[in-house]
Amino acid sequence: MFDFFEDEAPWQEPLASGAVILRRFVQGDDDALFREINRIATQSPFIHRITPGGVKMSVAMTGCGAAQWLSGRDGYLSNAESLPLSDTLLAVAQRAAIAADYPDFVPDSCLINRYAVGSKMTLHQDKNERDLHQPIVSVSLGLPAVFLFGGRQRSDKTNKVLLEHGDVVVWGRESRLCFHGISPLKPGIHPLTGPYRFNITFRKAL
């Protein structure tokens, strides 16, 4: 979305060892990314999965690529029916990975989370991917959210950082198994995404 007054040059903020925030990195790709989300959701609608504990997640999910994430102990299943990772998505993911010094990253899947007002993600680790040496690239679009990240133990102290429209975070090496989550989304209307926040995570899952 071109916005004469709000476009700013991107900048980087180191977040933890192996993790960096690429602020506004996809600002110029936001329309194209939002179109991709809508195209994927037409084929695979957003759904609220049930956690292993039997609780319906407040975040709605869809995705594309070789692997589909299932909540619970199943982790990823290969999914021949899902749309392939488009060139647009792959290009954004690899451009971000290169900027964060992960030049060899080749994602095979993306998971898309949709947050409505009040949606949250409780503290968790991402460890269902087969090769935990591969980083994860995360793209935030729409309403801002407070991101929480801690250490490798659930009980470790957490830090808060606001993730805003166009921000990308790349997680690898020492930060790959850090606990993280998202605080309940505050109400608002974003010019591109309306009352939602979207997060796209690119992964090499298989």
- Residues near ligand MD3 (CB under 6 A) are 111, 113, 121, 126, 136, 138, 169, 171, 175-176, 178, 180, 182, 199, 201
Q: How far is the CB of 205 from Fe ion (least distance, A)?
A: 13
What residue 136 binds from ligand MD3, Fe ion, none (CB within 5 to 8 A, per partner kind)? Answer: ligand MD3
Measured CA to CA, the distance from residue 3 to residue 128 in angstroms comes to 38
Q: Does 190 count as an annotated binding residue?
A: no
Chain centre to alpha carbon of residue 181: 11
What residue 178 binds from Fe ion, ligand MD3, none (CB within 5 to 8 A, per partner kind)? Answer: ligand MD3
* Residues in contact with 80: Cβ distance below 8 Å, sequence separation at least 6, in sequence order: none
SS3 category, 171: strand
Q: Does 126 bind Fe ion (CB under 5 A)?
A: yes
Amino acid letter, 125: Q
User: Which stretches within 44-190 are classed as H helix?
Assistant: 87-99
Q: Which one, 2 or 200, has the nearer CB to ligand MD3?
A: 200
Q: How far is the CB of 146 from ligand MD3 (least distance, A)?
A: 10
Chain centre to alpha carbon of residue 131: 18
The residue ranges that bind Fe ion (CB under 5 A) are: 126
